[in-house]
Amino acid sequence: MEDPVSARVFDRVFICMKCNASIRANASQVRAGKIACRKCGYTGLRPKKRTRKGKTK
Ligand SMILES: [Zn+2]
């Protein structure tokens, strides 16, 4: 609970490239390799795609 701005929540959501689990973490820590997937421990995470307004494809 650091940031009450829910609009930016997707900026901190990452997807495990191994098992597709979603992990919420700071981008700086993910880049530094400090964040690992909770399920499989894989550190290869990609940022979740941002959606502009609502869920548009
Ligand atoms: Zn994983």
CB atoms within 10 A of CB 29: 12
Going by pLDDT thresholds of 50, 70 and 90, the confidence category of residue 12 is confident
Whether residue 49 has pLDDT greater than 70 = yes
Q: Which amino acid is at 5?
A: V
Domain ranges across the chain = 6-47
- Expressed in angstroms and rounded, the spacing between residue 36 Cα and the centre of ligand 1 is 8
Helical segments of 1-57, H only: 27-31
- Expressed in angstroms and rounded, the spacing between residue 39 Cα and the centre of ligand 1 is 5
pTM for this entry: 0.68
Going by pLDDT thresholds of 50, 70 and 90, the confidence category of residue 2 is low
Residue 9 to residue 56: CA distance in whole angstroms:
17
Residues whose CB is less than 8 angstroms from the CB of residue 51 and which lie 6 or more positions away in sequence, other chains included: 10
Give the per-residue pLDDT at 35. 95
CATH number belonging to domain 6-47 = 2.20.28
